[in-house]
Amino acid sequence: MSVLLAITAILMLFVVIFQVAKAGEYVSILRGKEKAFRDSNRLNGRLMIAFLVLGLIGVYACHKLLYGKTLFAQGSSSIEGERVDSMLIITTIICMIVFVVTQVLLFWFSYKYQYKENRKIEFFAHNNKLEIIWTVIPTIVLTLLIIFGLRNWFLFTGEAPKDSLQIEVTGKQFGWIFRYPGKDNVFGKKYFRNIDATNSLGLIWQDNEAMKQKADPAAMDDIVTEGTVMIIKGRPVKFIIGSRDVVHNVGLPHFRLKADAVPGTPTTLWFTPKYTTEEMKQRTGNPNFAYEIACDQMCGNGHYSMRAVILVVSEQEYKEKLATMTSAYKMAYPDKDVMEDNQKEFKDSVANQLVADSTVTAKR
């Protein structure tokens, strides 16, 4: 109903504007076109100044009204994201200066140089000095911004600190899958053809002669979760990012970072959280605050719902919660003992190696 009313109001507005325009034509005929043109020209010149003043006031009012509702007002929640905020501030200041100067000149010129009977037009075809000024200055400014951006990008996507927490992030239509390395602190191997209802990442838990795969003991203790990922305040975290189907994008608005999730091509980024989730609830005054991962790449009909929560906790809390989590292998096969399976895989591997060595020795 509200949509119908809005459409009706817009149509009525167009009708009113049309009728006013027609009435203006009739008035100009009655008063004489020449006089009507001069009056209209003078009125439009004054309206330009009015639009300029009201427009700048509107921009300022919108800033005062809406700035506090943006994530920018909260500040970056990661140390590395502060670089992005600095870049955004510099870019915004430059754009604001250019915007104000160009708009003031545009509207002022429209008023100052409005049509007058005795005014002659000054025309020049070319001016080298002006060409150099408005070509070189923007080029230098944009080049500097690009250099700052690339420097920061190489930092975020470069080598993470050695003590970084490593977590694998995999996108799928339409959600996120997270994997923590187990006690061995090593990610097990995976293969996409192993993906099924109990093995969302295709971890290689068993031998597969058809695919010439050997079970990977390192995959047995990997922990897999969906919907929520846990990281540590003050400790760098490296996200190893991939996709199970189409191109997604790991968007971290509170941490000011993002990176594509591409099928078959792992990407990485790292950052250091500054505040726990509980601290952010106090800083924002929002008891329901949650860090989120959003998909910043259109990925299908359910793109709008592709969201996950990042839980930032202390080191002690992280260890305690991680200790209560069950490995994906144990979740899929609760009756099997992971340690026994690991030992069996190790013994079989050693036995096979001994047989191979003895065969080589016998041939010699």
Question: Residue 94 falls within a domain, yes or no?
Answer: no
Question: Residue 155 falls within a domain, yes or no?
Answer: no
Range of the domain at 318: 165-345
What pLDDT does residue 26 have?
61
Looking at residues 183-203, what average pLDDT do you find? 90
Q: Looking at the structure, tell me whether residues 218 and 234 fall in a common domain.
A: yes
Question: Residue 56 falls within a domain, yes or no?
Answer: yes
Amino acid 251 reads G
Q: Looking at the structure, tell me whether residues 238 and 339 fall in a common domain.
A: yes
Q: Is 220 helix (H, G, I), strand (E, B) or coil?
A: coil
What pLDDT does residue 345 have?
46
Cβ-proximal residues to 22 (8 Å cutoff; 6+ apart), any chain = none
- Candidates 254, 292, 258; CA nearest to 274 is 254
| Mean pLDDT, the chain, whole residue set | 85
Q: Has residue 362 got a pLDDT over 60? A: no
Q: Looking at the structure, tell me whether residues 214 and 323 fall in a common domain.
A: yes
Phi, psi (deg, nearest 5) at residue 242: -150, 180
Predicted TM-score (pTM) above 0.85 = no
Q: Is residue 29 very low, low, confident or very high in pLDDT (cuts 50, 70, 90)? A: low
Question: Residue 150 falls within a domain, yes or no?
Answer: no
Tally of domains in the chain: 3
- pLDDT tens, residue by residue, 330-361: 988 887 765 444 444 444 443 444 444 444 44
Q: Looking at the structure, tell me whether residues 311 and 172 fall in a common domain.
A: yes
211 vs 89: which has the higher pLDDT: 89
Question: Residue 251 falls within a domain, yes or no?
Answer: yes
Looking at residues 263-270, what average pLDDT do you find? 93
Q: Is residue 364 very low, low, confident or very high in pLDDT (cuts 50, 70, 90)? A: very low
Question: Residue 199 falls within a domain, yes or no?
Answer: yes
Which value, in Å, is the radius of gyration of the alpha carbons in the chain?
Answer: 32
Q: Has residue 204 got a pLDDT over 60? A: yes
Q: Looking at the structure, tell me whether residues 179 and 315 fall in a common domain.
A: yes
Of 40-44, 60-64, 107-111, 360-364, least confident by mean pLDDT is 360-364
- pLDDT tens, residue by residue, 275-295: 999 999 999 999 999 999 999
Q: Looking at the structure, tell me whether residues 22 and 41 fall in a common domain.
A: no
Q: Looking at the structure, tell me whether residues 171 and 311 fall in a common domain.
A: yes
Q: Looking at the structure, tell me whether residues 279 and 243 fall in a common domain.
A: yes
Q: Looking at the structure, tell me whether residues 195 and 285 fall in a common domain.
A: yes
In terms of phi and psi (left: phi > 0; alpha: psi -120 to 50; beta: otherwise), the region of 107 is: alpha
Q: Looking at the structure, tell me whether residues 263 and 216 fall in a common domain.
A: yes
Q: Looking at the structure, tell me whether residues 76 and 207 fall in a common domain.
A: no
Pair of tokens at residue 212: 């010439």
- pLDDT tens, residue by residue, 207-262: 877 667 788 899 999 999 999 999 999 999 999 999 999 999 999 999 999 999 99
Question: Residue 18 falls within a domain, yes or no?
Answer: yes
Q: Looking at the structure, tell me whether residues 188 and 108 fall in a common domain.
A: no
State percent of the chain over pLDDT 90: 55
- pLDDT tens, residue by residue, 114-168: 877 777 777 777 888 888 988 999 999 999 999 999 999 999 999 999 989 999 9
Question: Residue 11 falls within a domain, yes or no?
Answer: yes
What CATH number should be reported for the domain holding residue 174?
Answer: 2.60.40.420
In terms of phi and psi (left: phi > 0; alpha: psi -120 to 50; beta: otherwise), the region of 326 is: beta
